[in-house]
Chain A
């Protein structure tokens, strides 16, 4: 059976992030109240609760904060990715996001390695932000 992988369903608040990915751009929020970067997108800043959150384009580059190799699929939908190279990426702006690593062998993965975005258009409407060495 061909399982359809779960895809994000953008909300009015998060839409700019996903729209940006469709245009091969990484956009995250910056708080004008306390000058901090915010991810995931919110209506108010998790540092100061200001609603002055401005979308800014960033390089999307960062480092590998941690990862695991899921030797058993976390759901049957991901069986084709085994072992899943799940990762937490820390962007140069300091925020972290969950992603998966591509274009790298498991044995070459090292925490702290430089990473750059890999835009993976999974449907006509949605692009996922995966990461590759760079």
Chain B
């Protein structure tokens, strides 16, 4: 079962992540064009080489999204996927692209997640009644509308906080470890010119003094919303041979969905990234110990902690000790989120997860400059959507 590792990431693009966006505003389809042009140029490919796309939603159209993008780009495709996995969408795009390529139905697939602000509408639309303060569904008949929203269980912070609180009750909660995680990632981010926290490392003291948002999560353990976006080009082995950079082969993946609201998880402390990661490692024929760098989805510190455990980098309940005992900067013994993660980059909506994919490719291609992990051949990437409800993993290897 699985991939043979014949498809590879051959190029990438990334907008600078900014809290206050300083560039021109563009519609999502226009950003798609920008990212496609940048990523193809990076790879050394032309628009005419493209015959597949993977996308998330766009602001200009509620449906027929892939066709809208394909028409706008001006390039017909054989393979078009719209992925609805929140923060796991980028990982979901990459394995679907690789699968399509190995099936022989596409040679070059652009996966893009634009997330810059669009031009302000002179005729603002009414607020979508299906959304209620970042809830995904307030429609009649939606379990969320009926059993969550009336109690105020909304948005992401409280769901992740309740998972963290349960984790603490079962395994103990070490604030120092969570602070160290933020400090190490922000140190990486401080070296990344595309990160919102470029040149701005932090200290454990600062993290622990930051405002409590939803117990036990503090402000600096939660991603900051920013403008951004990124893209990768996935190509066949034949195409990869004529591209500019070292191919980043996609050798393993997994995806697992369990619930939408953590209340209904069988065990709140066992996350879907476990089965997803086991499948990815098995497919690639690697073990966690073979990994040179881990780019782990980090909407919150608790997400990283539980992914480290459930993906098998350390035992269940040992994650906080593992964090305290490991050097997690780019030059440490366990390089983690070497771009700063989203805690260091800022989170550009569902594009956040693309930063992890792009950084993995950057490291394997040997293009991470001052953040370069020496001898980086095998990288683990994870994506997390919803509230620890849909997760995906990739194993990427140098070709």
Binding site for B on A (CB under 8 A): 5-11, 14, 40, 65-75, 77-78, 81, 84, 86, 88, 96-100, 111-112, 128, 130
- Considering only residues 144-170 of chain B, those with a C-beta below 8 Å from chain A are 145-155, 157-158, 161-163, 165-166, 169
Q: Contacts A68-B214, A70-B158, A88-B162 known; list 4 others, CB within 8 Å.
A: A11-B141, A66-B163, A68-B217, A81-B152
Sample of 19 A–B contacts (CB below 8 Å): A8-B146, A8-B147, A11-B141, A40-B146, A66-B162, A66-B163, A66-B165, A66-B166, A68-B161, A68-B165, A70-B161, A71-B214, A73-B152, A74-B155, A74-B157, A77-B152, A81-B152, A88-B162, A88-B263
Count of CB-CB pairs between chains A and B under 8 Å = 103
Are A11 and B146 neighbours in the complex by a CB distance under 8 Å? Answer: yes
User: By DSSP majority rule, is chain A's interface helix, strand, loop, or mixed?
Assistant: mixed
Whether A98 and B263, one on each chain, are in contact in the complex, defined by CB atoms closer than 8 angstroms, is yes
Find out whether the CB atom of B133 lies under 8 angstroms from the CB atom of A96. no
Inter-chain contact A100/B133, CB cutoff 8 Å: no
- The interface residues of chain B lying within 8 Å CB-to-CB of A68 are 158, 161-162, 165, 214-215, 217
Interface residues, chain B, with chain A CB atoms under 8 Å away: 132-133, 138, 140-141, 143, 145-155, 157-158, 161-163, 165-166, 169, 211-215, 217, 261-264, 268
Cross-chain contact B211 with A14 (CB below 8 angstroms): no
Task: Please tell me if the beta carbons of B263 and A75 are within 8 angstroms of each other in the complex.
Answer: no
Q: Which residues of B contact A75 (CB under 8 A)?
A: 132-133, 152, 154
Q: What residues of B have a CB within 8 angstroms of the CB of A96 in the complex?
A: 263-264
The reply to whether A9 and B214 contact each other, CB–CB distance below 8 Å, is no
Report the minimum CB–CB distance from B355 to chain A (whole Å).
26
Question: Known contacts being A6-B132, A65-B268, is A74 close to B154, with CB within 8 Å?
Answer: yes
A70 to B166 CA separation, bound complex (whole angstroms) = 15
A82 to B212, CA, bound (A): 13
The distance in angstroms between the C-alpha atoms of A6 and B214, with both chains bound, is: 21
Q: How far is the CB of A38 from chain B (nearest CB, A)?
A: 11
Q: With both chains docked as a complex, state the minimum distance between the C-beta of A28 and any C-beta of chain B, in angstroms.
A: 12
A88 to B141, CA, bound (A): 21
Give A130 to B153 CA distance when docked, in angstroms.
Answer: 13
Set of chain B residues within 8 Å of A84, measured between Cβ atoms? 152, 158
Beta-carbon contact of A9 and B148 below 8 Å: no
Bound form: Cα–Cα A100–B165 in Å? 15
**CA of A81 to CA of B149, assembled, Å:** 14
Q: A11-B146, A68-B162 are in contact. Are A100 and B152 (CB under 8 A)?
A: yes
Which residues of B sit under 8 angstroms from A7, Cβ to Cβ?
150
Contact across chains for B147 and A40 when beta carbons are under 8 A apart? yes
B146 touches A9 (CB 8 A): yes
- Are A11 and B158 in contact, CB atoms less than 8 angstroms apart? no
Which 9 residue pairs spanning A and B have beta carbons closest together?
Answer: A68-B161, A66-B166, A75-B133, A111-B169, A74-B154, A78-B152, A66-B162, A8-B146, A68-B214
A70 touches B140 (CB 8 A): no
Instruction: Give Cα distance in the complex from A80 to B175, angstroms.
Output: 29
B153 lies within 8 A of A74 (CB): yes
* Residues of A close to B158: CB separation below 8 A: 68, 70, 74, 84, 86
Tell me the complex Cα distance, A40–B141, Å.
Answer: 12
B151 engages A70 (CB within 8 Å) = no
Bound Cα distance from A86 to B261, whole angstroms: 13
CB distance from A12 to the nearest CB of B (A): 10
Q: Is the CB of A67 within 8 A of B146?
A: no
